[in-house]
Structure 1
Amino acid sequence: MASWSLIFTLLFVCFAISDASETDVLLKFKDSLANDAALSNWNASTNPCSDNKVRWIGVLCTKDRTVMGLQLENMSLTGLVDVDTLMALPDLRTLSFSNNSFDGPMPNLKQLSSLRSFFLSYNRFSGEIPDDAFLGMGSLKKIYLQQNSFSGKIPTSLTKVLKLLELRLDSNQLEGKIPNFQQKGLQLVNVSNNSLRGSVPKSLSKMDLSFFSGNKALCGEPLLACKTKKPTMLVIIIAIVAIFVILAAIVSAIVVVLLRLRKKHQPSKMRRTPCSTNPKKVASYDATKQNYNWGSAETSPCSKGQNGKLVFVRDDREKFELQDLLRASAEVLGSGTFGSSYKAALFSGPVMVVKRFKLMNNVGKEDFQEHMRRLGRLQHPNLSSLVAFYYRKDEKLLVSEFVQNGSLASQLHGKRTPEMPGLDWPTRLRIIKGVAKGLIYLYNELPSLTVPHGHLKSSNVLLNESFDPLLADYGLIPIVNKDQAEQYMVAYKSPEYEQYNRTTKKTDVWSFGILILEVLTGKFPENYLKQGKSGTKSNLASWVNSVIREEWTGEVFDKDMKDTKHGEGEMLKMLKAGLQCCEEDIEKRWDIDEAVERILELRERDDDEDYYSSYASEGDIYSSRAMTEDGFSFSVHT
């Protein structure tokens, strides 16, 4: 009888849970959170998915209007992630609580066995991750836990997540060895900046070296080879050879001292000054290796006799010396108006990008250092973080981490190949949203700057291994010579600067609008190539507006943009948002808060069936003219 009673009790609980509405479930989940002001429109009077006029912030819904995910990012949330309550949402597939303030142990997410992805990055979770934390999660594809304080070993249950594609555990306090991952579809395993030891599993040896950097006791391909134990006799031979090497080094040191003493007594005109003020080239080309090595160039930056040091602005990155950069193999990434960029692979493992600036000569050392430290304190998932800098009166170096997929410009305008196809609509939408988040962060953190970015364009938007955007070259207006800034920087090509010789708090929004149009149309804003004022009549916004007035055709949206099915309405909304952001009339132009709010509301697919039904069926393309109430021409045909 007791067993039957228990069964009836369990059945009653199950029916009670299934009977609870999604509204009740989410409101109960909200009650477990603290500092939940960002969820102000979660209330019992509306439905999370069915009410299109009052859409619940951060709630993702299926076409059948059931809750499929929660995207509660950048909301300063704290409290408890109530997994038990979320179990009452049977269609839940994705959770993202990135960039909040959750702490404590990792939530018991294995109870949500149908999850396909979850993102807990940039929080304060700590403690060991249970070894069985991922057992039974057969649908899981993406796990993002980076930038927390997790400790202990990497759970072996991760190797049993058969569909796993991407795993981010970087910048935690994990130790021990890396488990032997054998999943065939695995694309990304990033465990950098932990305290791991031992050899990298062979199954991961072909991944990018940066995914394993920052673990001093880690070795094996793609890192340096692991040291093996040598026979006793070989050790003796090596010791003898080492003694001779040490003796040779002592003799060499004595010779160097004698040469320096001799040089010291030469006339000053015969001595070469450190860091030639007019270096002819920074990197020499090695035809056998097909790369650049700035250590081999006679006039490489600060290569000989330089006593200056790199100044690090981040404490969570591995330290290295200026000479380590100079000895590294340096591939030239590009030569822009501000200077050249180099990819430097350090012998210790990390791959860095070094930008050499030539338009900052008027900046004093103290002002430069203070501003760099200010930029170094900025930290956001959509910013390319400054790692270190070097100051010399006629030369400035900025060092940051190398980003895998290059710039947005190269992805949009590069030659199409099977390995580099055109970006699809969901990816472009995610990139624009990421740029919006990074830009509003700059506005909030750099309030004293009228134009917090100043040079926002597609070549200054980098894409990481997941094609998430990272803003680069931001906050440089205060330290760039004014004459050169007016010639080259994007902020000075805005309508307000052309007409009134001034920038405003909405100038970066204008640049953002042009970037949105570039992403949607695939057209490069050619007026950026002109020095000085480039004329608003020739910018990308003018072209889009002219097409809207005359004839709406398929030429507006990029033909290389794939996966646009059921997303035409959202694409149109994004195009309208771009035009509002780069409106020439400053009064009519959106400010940053409104721009970000409107853009973050957009989705990959049209979620309103009635709205979508007004367009044609699968396979439709943009074609003939049809006017909407907003004055946009839009129609489709099969």
Structure 2
Amino acid sequence: MASNKVLVQQWLFMLFIMSVHVVATYGAIDSATQASLLKFRSSLSNATALSNWKPSISLCNGNKSDWAGVLCRNDVFYGLRLENMSLSGMIDTDALAEIPTLRSLSFMNNSFKGPMPTVKKLSLTRVLYLSLNGFSGDIPDDAFDGMNGLWKVYLERNEFTGKIPKSLVALPSLWELSLVGNQFEGKIPDFQQSQWRKFNLSYNNFVGPIPEKLSNLVNSSSFWGDIGLCGKPLDPCKPPTPKPKRQYLLIIGILVIVTAALALLGAILYVHGRRAKTSQYEMAHDHEEKAHKNFGYDVSLKESQSAELPAGYSNGEHEKLFFVRNDRERVDLQDLLRASAEVLGSGSFGSSYKAVLLSGPTVVVKRFKQMNNSGKDEFHDHMRKLGRLSHPNLLPLMAFYYTKEEKLLISDFVENGSLASHLHGRRAPGQSGLDWPTRLKIIKGVARALACIHKEFPTLSLPHGHLKSSNVLLDHNFRPILSDFALVPVINKDHAHQHMAAYKSPEFTQTDRTSKKTDVWCLGILILELLTGKFPANYLKHGKGANVDLATWVNSVVREEWTGEVFDMDMKGTKDSEEEMLKLLKIGVCCCEWNVERRWDLKEAVEKIEELSERDVNEVGSYSSNCSEGDMYSSRALTEEDFSFLG
């Protein structure tokens, strides 16, 4: 027994060491940052939405702020999300440049006009959203000089003219760019970025052939509405009109001379430049993946780290694994301690390990650190209820370990990772995204599993409580398997409110209330994430104030532009399936209805999902304009007016 306790002490110590995250912090935000923000606000017109910006109010409190639109992380200011606030006037970039921790800026859907702000003064910014304003005129070639860490640039639906600035093309870390709905013109420059999560130049005035490198990285939807473009993935370019022979030979001679003169220099610059760009690009990916992990939303596709399972706990309680299923091989605690293990990840509830038992099976061990308010009998009873659940789309609980301070949940290992990793993780070159049939298969399985949970836990107000794409696992056939469900009764209340998906819902952020329809809201967000490929940014904000969700973005896109812009550009196999995709989009929006009374219940949502097919089979239908109507579809053709219910 003494040796067991030594092993227990070693296990606890090693678990503690592995669960510590080294997070870079800058200390508390001082009054200088507040002064810079107030100076910035003074340059705005109609800034009533920022009336609570006051020096007497603390700027950051952990990962939230009482200042409207202010983003904080670990008590440090890092960005502004000033969206849909009717702001106008001048964006004082000099004032913002005084804040060294500024990384993210969004002024989407306001009333700013005039030339492009001098954003190059904000050299450390990673994310820039200026869409849906009235900015106009040519953008200077040097507008983005020095912003080498910039990942995302969104300038959609403004009135910009002229050519794409050279400094934007040269950004080494850029992986998302959208210039939709402006008046840019000329030829598309030769972007050198090797990977894109989003790239869209639709509805501008570009002409000429699409650069070869881009033609192999993006699909035709990136160029819709640019009638002067040609070449793959659009229609082939027409052959040029033959020129006089002498002029033709002269041009060839000049090209040969220029090519020869630049060959050596080009080779040298390519080698050095390529190394630098690759390094910066990978750093950008690592930073974003680290941010997701720090917020309990791990979407990384990196290989797991090797580890040893720690030796156990030594709090004097009986050290025993409690098995809740009879269809799994039983092992004792020592078998688990001797297993080879890998760290799978660490989220807001604790660490996860992949353990290969000596007897052969592979299991996942999850250590939960925020269940200390649960009594032993209560915990045991609830785990037994979870063990009795049986559904092909639910991850069965195999066993658990209980002490007053530590809890372990043991389940099967699912080999294909999470849905989040497939939607948002970094893919290998040539690896395609999830196609439409696979995504429909996934959402159908999720809906069936959610219905099972609601049936088996009728007394719980939140039968799932934590439905999000990182908790949807995929087996080798891409069958979805839900995990981390029905844990609300045993998670510490304060921690649940800070981290669980259900508590990002509008009813909780506004009224501190949840219901079974809150799970439906989470299902709706998951549907929109699956269709758009966009990460639900509201899940990265903890606690209240996380109201700006994916549904808001879909709302704005559907209202302002052709609905085809909503869908993930990486989704393959969509030919003849757009109508079914639009039906699922409508289901997602109706599940995300802010008014809980008008929001669909789970039964209706599941029924509508089950009606969907991989491809259109008969007549082309369209949406009704009311989520509460029993029949979603009619026999007339689809128009944008059918989405007026979003307005």
The TM-score, its normalising length taken from structure 1, stands at 0.51
Alignment match, 1:431: 442
Kindly state the Cα deviation for residue 526 of structure 1 after the two structures are TM-superposed. Answer: 1.1
Alignment match, 1:513: 524
Alignment match, 1:543: 553
How do 1:22-421 residues align onto structure 2 when only pairs under 5 Å count? 276=12, 280-281=16-17, 291-295=305-309, 300-302=311-313, 307-417=318-428, 420-421=431-432
SS for the counterpart of 1:467 is: coil
Q: Deviations over 1:190-216 (max 9, x none)?
A: xxxxxxxxxxxxxxxxxxxxxxxxxxx
Compared CA separation, residues 419 and 393, structure 1 to 2 (3 A)? farther
How do 1:461-476 residues align onto structure 2 when only pairs under 5 Å count? 461-476=472-487
Q: Deviations over 1:516-570 (max 9, x none)?
A: 000000001111111112432x100000001111112543100110000110000
Q: Deviations over 1:542-601 (max 9, x none)?
A: 000011111125431001100001100000000000000011011110000000001100
For the residues of structure 1 that align with 2:19 and 2:583, how far apart are their CA atoms?
46
For the residues of structure 1 that align with 2:316 and 2:615, how far apart are their CA atoms?
60
Moved more, 509-518 or 522-531: 522-531
SS for the counterpart of 1:528 is: helix
For the residues of structure 2 that align with 1:600 and 1:424, how far apart are their CA atoms?
18
Compared CA separation, residues 415 and 472, structure 1 to 2 (3 A)? same
1:385–1:400 CA contact under 8 A, matched in 2 = yes
Alignment match, 2:134: none
For the residues of structure 2 that align with 1:437 and 1:274, how far apart are their CA atoms?
42
SS for the counterpart of 1:281 is: helix
Compared CA separation, residues 332 and 573, structure 1 to 2 (3 A)? same
Kindly state the Cα deviation for residue 290 of structure 1 after the two structures are TM-superposed. Answer: 8.5
Q: Deviations over 1:28-60 (max 9, x none)?
A: xxxxxxxxxxxxxxxxxxxxxxxxxxxxxxxxx
For the residues of structure 2 that align with 1:554 and 1:502, how far apart are their CA atoms?
35
1:274–1:305 CA contact under 8 A, matched in 2 = no
For the residues of structure 2 that align with 1:558 and 1:455, how far apart are their CA atoms?
24
For the residues of structure 1 that align with 2:505 and 2:343, how far apart are their CA atoms?
31
Matched, 1:580 2:590: yes
For the residues of structure 2 that align with 1:363 and 1:336, how far apart are their CA atoms?
20
User: RMSD between aligned alpha carbons?
Assistant: 3.0
How do 1:535-614 residues align onto structure 2 when only pairs under 5 Å count? 535-536=546-547, 538-552=548-562, 554-609=564-619, 611=621
2:392–2:481 CA contact under 8 A, matched in 1 = yes
For the residues of structure 1 that align with 2:596 and 2:517, how far apart are their CA atoms?
7
Q: Deviations over 1:155-203 (max 9, x none)?
A: xxxxxxxxxxxxxxxxxxxxxxxxxxxxxxxxxxxxxxxxxxxxxxxxx
Alignment match, 2:458: 447
**Letter paired with 1:629:** D
Kindly state the Cα deviation for residue 282 of structure 1 after the two structures are TM-superposed. Answer: 5.0
**Letter paired with 1:439:** L
SS for the counterpart of 2:481 is: strand
For the residues of structure 2 that align with 1:442 and 1:339, how far apart are their CA atoms?
23
Unaligned 5+ runs, structure 2: 21-302, 623-637
Compared CA separation, residues 547 and 349, structure 1 to 2 (3 A)? same
**Letter paired with 1:405:** N
**Letter paired with 2:531:** L
**Letter paired with 1:294:** E
Kindly state the Cα deviation for residue 610 of structure 1 after the two structures are TM-superposed. Answer: 5.1
2:317–2:403 CA contact under 8 A, matched in 1 = no
Kindly state the Cα deviation for residue 499 of structure 1 after the two structures are TM-superposed. Answer: 1.2
Kindly state the Cα deviation for residue 379 of structure 1 after the two structures are TM-superposed. Answer: 0.5
Matched, 1:631 2:644: yes
SS for the counterpart of 1:555 is: helix
SS for the counterpart of 1:330 is: strand
For the residues of structure 2 that align with 1:290 and 1:361, how far apart are their CA atoms?
28
Kindly state the Cα deviation for residue 416 of structure 1 after the two structures are TM-superposed. Answer: 2.3
SS for the counterpart of 2:498 is: helix
Kindly state the Cα deviation for residue 301 of structure 1 after the two structures are TM-superposed. Answer: 3.8
Compared CA separation, residues 274 and 307, structure 1 to 2 (3 A)? farther
For the residues of structure 2 that align with 1:570 and 1:290, how far apart are their CA atoms?
37
Compared CA separation, residues 406 and 388, structure 1 to 2 (3 A)? same
Alignment match, 2:262: none
1:514–1:578 CA contact under 8 A, matched in 2 = yes
Alignment match, 2:82: none
SS for the counterpart of 1:292 is: strand
How do 1:10-29 residues align onto structure 2 when only pairs under 5 Å count? none
1:275–1:306 CA contact under 8 A, matched in 2 = no
Kindly state the Cα deviation for residue 629 of structure 1 after the two structures are TM-superposed. Answer: 3.4
Structure of greater Rg: 1
For the residues of structure 2 that align with 1:504 and 1:438, how far apart are their CA atoms?
18
2:462–2:515 CA contact under 8 A, matched in 1 = yes
1:435–1:469 CA contact under 8 A, matched in 2 = yes
SS for the counterpart of 2:565 is: coil
For the residues of structure 2 that align with 1:406 and 1:504, how far apart are their CA atoms?
30
The TM-score, its normalising length taken from structure 2, stands at 0.51
SS for the counterpart of 1:631 is: helix
**Letter paired with 2:494:** D
Kindly state the Cα deviation for residue 279 of structure 1 after the two structures are TM-superposed. Answer: 5.1
2:7–2:312 CA contact under 8 A, matched in 1 = no
Give aligned-pair identity as a percent.
Answer: 60
Match of 2:533 among 522, 525, 534: 522
SS for the counterpart of 2:427 is: coil
Kindly state the Cα deviation for residue 440 of structure 1 after the two structures are TM-superposed. Answer: 0.5
Compared CA separation, residues 531 and 471, structure 1 to 2 (3 A)? same
For the residues of structure 2 that align with 1:486 and 1:436, how far apart are their CA atoms?
24
For the residues of structure 2 that align with 1:317 and 1:518, how far apart are their CA atoms?
34
2:351–2:367 CA contact under 8 A, matched in 1 = yes
Kindly state the Cα deviation for residue 278 of structure 1 after the two structures are TM-superposed. Answer: 9.2
SS for the counterpart of 1:578 is: helix
For the residues of structure 1 that align with 2:435 and 2:7, how far apart are their CA atoms?
58
Alignment match, 1:163: none
For the residues of structure 1 that align with 2:356 and 2:556, how far apart are their CA atoms?
47
For the residues of structure 2 that align with 1:370 and 1:421, how far apart are their CA atoms?
44
Compared CA separation, residues 326 and 587, structure 1 to 2 (3 A)? same
Compared CA separation, residues 487 and 610, structure 1 to 2 (3 A)? closer
Compared CA separation, residues 278 and 341, structure 1 to 2 (3 A)? closer
SS for the counterpart of 2:17 is: coil
Kindly state the Cα deviation for residue 318 of structure 1 after the two structures are TM-superposed. Answer: 0.6
Q: Deviations over 1:39-91 (max 9, x none)?
A: xxxxxxxxxxxxxxxxxxxxxxxxxxxxxxxxxxxxxxxxxxxxxxxxxxxxx
For the residues of structure 2 that align with 1:394 and 1:527, how far apart are their CA atoms?
31
Compared CA separation, residues 381 and 524, structure 1 to 2 (3 A)? same
**Letter paired with 2:640:** M
Kindly state the Cα deviation for residue 611 of structure 1 after the two structures are TM-superposed. Answer: 5.0
Kindly state the Cα deviation for residue 628 of structure 1 after the two structures are TM-superposed. Answer: 3.9
SS for the counterpart of 1:280 is: helix
2:352–2:365 CA contact under 8 A, matched in 1 = yes
SS for the counterpart of 2:580 is: helix
Count residues in correspondence: 349
**Letter paired with 1:383:** L
